[in-house]
Chains A and B, each alone.
Chain A
Amino acid sequence: MIEIEGIGRRFNTRDGGSFEALKDVSFSVNDKEFFSIIGPSGCGKTTLLKMVAGLVKPTAGRIDIDGRTVIGPGDDRAMVFQQFVLLPWADILTNVGFGLELRGMSRKESRDAARPHLEQVGLTRFAEHYPHELSGGMQQRVGLARALAVGPDILLMDEPFGALDAQTRQLMQEDLMRLWEVEQKTVIFVTHSMDEAAYLSDRVLVMDTHPGRVREILDVPLPRPREEGVRRSPVFNELTSHMWRELRGMMGDPTAPAPE
């Protein structure tokens, strides 16, 4: 279980002042839960994710995972990046095993250990190919396989489908759901897309901006496993409409209805 308590983050600005990116953010994520974070640009959701990853330190508050406070990256968490961030000089199989290599395995061992995960994402054929030979969707699957290969309890996904076109994106969402049903990991998923958040998650955190803070946490009462048709259900529409109303208000749209 992940407990985020009173998280705040200040940045120093060039002119000597400071800027509060996150203020008093508190929530918790349950084991094996698919938890999305959505919010307008600049609300600090990526910063928050990086804090859970241990890449950024909070200036206030703390994050506990199963009772232990996060002080840096760890074996229990793995990240998937929006820009994929694969090693351009290494082939796909090496890329999938790279997380293991960084933790001390030899190249050969990590490549061997990576094979099943490459198969999990359906790219066994491309083991010896290079990243630039693959499409965006395939590259992101490699990124996902790499994260799964280190056997984390928690997957941290930073707008992983943001760099993909709409059609690929939808396919990837469905693939992710299928994979998640099997792997049963805790996932914290940052996104811009309300449809995506509603389709994938058990709960959605809607963030406010300037400074970034919790606006509300929504339950997603949709049946699992999530089928494609669920996108057209009335519950889905209600949920996304609600999210849109909230977000729109935050983005300063003059035609938005006043916040309740």
Chain B
Amino acid sequence: MGRHRGRTHEASNSGVWEPVVTHQGEPSIASGEPYTAEAERTMTANRWIPWAFRIGSVGVVLLIWELYGRAQETTLFFVPVSSVIAALWEQVQTAEFWDAFRQTFIPFVWGWTLSLAVGIVAGLLIGRFSTFDALTKPYVTFLNALPVSTLVPIAVILFGIGYASRILVVFLFGVVEVTLNTAAGVRYVNKDLVEMGESFNASETRLFRKVILPASLPGIMAGVRIGTGRAVVGMVVVEILLVAVGMGRLILRYRGRFQSADLFAVVLALIIFGILLQVLARQVERRVSKWKYEMEQIA
């Protein structure tokens, strides 16, 4: 008994093929929902396992740090993490600490803001106008390859050891990445978008304001994030190479006196500051580039 496939052209009278159903399918199961308790349990378990690992590994590291620190015979070189936290806790309650922080922070803010302002403008010009790109390319390439810390002595010769040279150093550290990322953000705007804008006969300024600038914003924000990180590095470089004031002075003092816990504490404070700023920059970047991330999820 063969499968009934429907009447053929010759056999029917009307000359028209009529569909004959040979198999009725099952109704489809609603997708995406666990339909057994078993499946549900596995899925929730899978979610907290990675977190357990993560917390576990951080905990293990801290534990090793603590034990190794305690195992030391002397506190001159390495100290347990508890001492560092304690030292930091004490320091943040002193006026001296915050004075030092302020003296470090002020030139940082100025240099950082300058690097963003100059970097974004330069990046926009470089990304949009190939002429400008070509003219500045030798300088940008060189500055990108050079360890900026080598320019610190030049800054000192130029401005002495006051705020001006510090601002300059922070600026130099940040400006290159901001420029390069902004330029990339502008350069790699989807050509289709630009063509669409042109097809509506938009003027150059309007095209720039309404199409190119919004489309480059994710790239610019990436530049801001990375440039901020570099500016923080610049701030710390200033502190360890130009040590007259600020946190650098504290570092030098504690190192000279082998007050390890206090030294670690200051370093930790700087690190926390750097991480906080990065997290903030990343949040802002995510907000602004929300549409891009959502697009990439779909793709």
Contacts and interface: CB of A to CB of B under 8 A. Distances in A.
Q: Do these two chains really belong together in a complex?
A: yes
A72 B291 contact: no
Contacts of A75: 201
Contacts of B192: 81, 83, 85
Contacts of B294: 130, 132
Contacts of B211: 87
B200 A150 contact: yes
User: B198, B199, B202: which has the most chain A beta carbons within 10 Å?
Assistant: B199
A132 B297 CA distance: 10
B67 interface: no
A213 to B, nearest CB: 25
Chain A interface size, under 10 / 10 to 19 / 20 to 34 / 35 or more: 20 to 34
A98 B295 contact: no
Contact of A73 (B201, B215, B217): B201
B198 A55 contact: yes
Contacts of B217: 89
Contacts of B210: 98, 101-102
Contacts, number: 60
Interface residues of B, number: 23
Interface in B194-250: 195-202, 206-207, 210-211, 214-215, 217
Contacts of B206: 102, 104
Interface of B: 190, 192-193, 195-202, 206-207, 210-211, 214-215, 217, 291-292, 294-295, 298
21 contacts: A54-B199, A55-B195, A55-B198, A55-B199, A73-B198, A73-B200, A78-B200, A81-B196, A85-B193, A85-B195, A87-B214, A88-B292, A89-B214, A90-B214, A98-B210, A102-B197, A102-B200, A102-B201, A102-B210, A132-B294, A150-B200
Given A79-B199, A85-B192, 8 more contacts: A55-B195, A73-B199, A73-B201, A75-B201, A85-B190, A85-B196, A88-B291, A102-B210
